Amino acid sequence: MKVKPQRPGQDGRSGQATGTVRHGDGKAATQCESVTKDERVEDVMKSMANEMKVKDAERAARYVATLRPAMAVTRFVRMEREREQREYEMKKKQREAEEGENARAVATGEKTAAVDRDVQITDVEAGVDELTASVSKVWRTRRQALRAAKRQRVMVATARLESRHDNEQEQRRIREVRSAVRLQERNEALERLEERRRQRDDPDGKPAAKPTDQARVSLVKQQKEATGAASARSSEAV
């Protein structure tokens, strides 16, 4: 129980009574201070206890909100991994069993295939000789055809060379004839000029005899014959 200290003379009593109280002031004050400290300590402890309860409640709420879902996810992942591991082991055992059966089947198939290969090899060897003979005959015929084609090409090339040589000779003859014709025409032109000059110098004189055209006609005829022969040879070569 808390005792409230009173001031001297506060109760309105006589001075004697007040004096009696003053003699016990020291002891009462000490008791009051002790009671006050205890109450303060008790209040602090209660406050700390309340704060700890609040903190514990908040910590529990955070655990429920964060750690519990995380732990649940961890447990789910672990269970999922264990399930996948079990499935992997089962598939592995099943695959090993299937591979063993396939290996036995392959071994049996290889034995059968070996027998079939022996039979096929015998049949193939029997037909190889015939095939070799046929191939040799085909190659021999092909070589003969190639040789005949080569001879034909050589003959055509030789004929073309000969025709080209003849054409060159004909072209040379044509050039010679044309040159002779041009020379004859030039000479005739010079003679006509000379005749006109003489007529101017001697108006009363008789005109000189005109040169005969027989030579010019002969040259023109030779040129036409050479050109026709060259054209004929060119068409034959083609």
Q: Give the pLDDT mean for 77-89.
A: 82
Measured CA to CA in angstroms, residue 35 lies from 31, 42, 53, 73 at distances of 6, 11, 27, 56
Least confident of 27-41, 108-122, 192-206, 207-221: 207-221
* DSSP 3-state percent helix, strand, coil across the chain (nearest 5): 90, 0, 10
pLDDT at 196: 86
Asked if residue 228 belongs to a domain, the reply is: yes
Number of domains in the chain: 1
pLDDT at 132: 73
- For 103-115, write each residue's pLDDT tens digit: 665 556 566 655 5
Asked if residue 50 belongs to a domain, the reply is: no
Parent domain of 227: 155-202+211-237
For the question of whether the overall pTM of this predicted structure is more than 0.85, the answer is: no
Asked if residue 91 belongs to a domain, the reply is: no
Asked if residue 196 belongs to a domain, the reply is: yes
Asked if residue 177 belongs to a domain, the reply is: yes
Asked if residue 163 belongs to a domain, the reply is: yes
pLDDT at 14: 41
Q: Give the pLDDT mean for 26-30.
A: 60
Asked if residue 231 belongs to a domain, the reply is: yes
CA 175, CA 227: separation in Å to the nearest integer? 10
Judged against a pLDDT cut of 50, whether residue 15 lies above it is answered with: no
